[in-house]
Amino acid sequence: MLNTAVTPLNFYAISLQLLPEKAIYRPETRTLYLTDTHFGKAGTFRRGGVPLPGGHNRADYDRLNRLIETHGPKRMVFLGDLFHSFINEEWQQFTEWRAAHSLISMLLIEGNHDVLLPDDYLQANLIVQPEGFEDDGLILNHHPRNDERAGPDLKPSLCGHIHPGVRLSGPGRQFERLPCFWHSVSRKQLMLPAFGSFTGLGNISPENTDSIFVIAGEDVVQLQ
């Protein structure tokens, strides 16, 4: 195994590791969680007439391979928006990568961009589940909980969709926007940053009781 920076988090008695590669590892079940890869997005833009160069996914696959080499997961869970839209040339790239890791079970929670046919996911040896799927005490969603509030019967959830990020300010009017993990205490929810490099960042409005973990290079740093 390679050495990597991890930030441990006791998430309602579930031991998780927040990773600077924009993913979460659960050692107990040897599961990697990530969201919003949006593979195929560049191809979708090119099909629409935007002359984007290829190679946008290379860094993302490199990070996926590094996560597998480092942690040796037996399962990977994509929390929605695996592929950006309808099939294009980048789907073949994903299926080839998937075939190279055939011993790892892979699960996809349906997101709003996951519009491929069932046979496409079957070809890629992906198990597809709807939002609300329970995974060893965790509720797996793509969209965040908006109305549910924490209570004794509400189980903790992982989600994506928003691509959470924060703006950090420095001297001389300098600022930087960085991806982050967002633990919403009132909703008993942990939102992951978007894994894909070609995604952008969304604004968030954390409450005072929430925790924010910013990805700063090779570290995950808690801000609040």
Take residue 217 and report the two structure tokens written for it: 């290079």
Rounded distance between C-alpha atoms, residue 198 and residue 11, angstroms? 29
**Exposed, middle or buried: residue 151 (CB in 10 Å: 0-12, 13-18, 19+)?**
exposed
Which residues contact residue 154 at a Cβ distance below 8 angstroms, ignoring those fewer than 6 apart? 148, 188
pLDDT at res. 56:
67
Please, which pLDDT band fits residue 50 given cuts at 50, 70 and 90?
A: very low
Q: Note the pLDDT tens digit of each residue in 82-128.
A: 996 777 788 999 999 999 999 999 999 999 989 999 999 999 999 99
Q: Distances in Å between the alpha carbon of 61 and those of 37, 183, 195, 215?
A: 10, 26, 10, 19
Across the chain, mean pLDDT equals 88
**Annotated domain spans of the chain:** 7-222
Q: What confidence category does residue 73 fall into, taking pLDDT thresholds of 50, 70 and 90?
A: very high
Residues 6 or more apart in contact with residue 88 via CB below 8 angstroms: 40, 43, 44, 46, 47
**Predicted pLDDT at 3:** 44
Residue 136 falls in which region: left (phi positive, over 0), alpha (psi -120 to 50) or beta: left
Residue 4 pLDDT > 60: no
Q: What is the fold, at CATH topology level, of the domain defined by 7-222? A: Purple Acid Phosphatase; chain A, domain 2 (3.60.21)
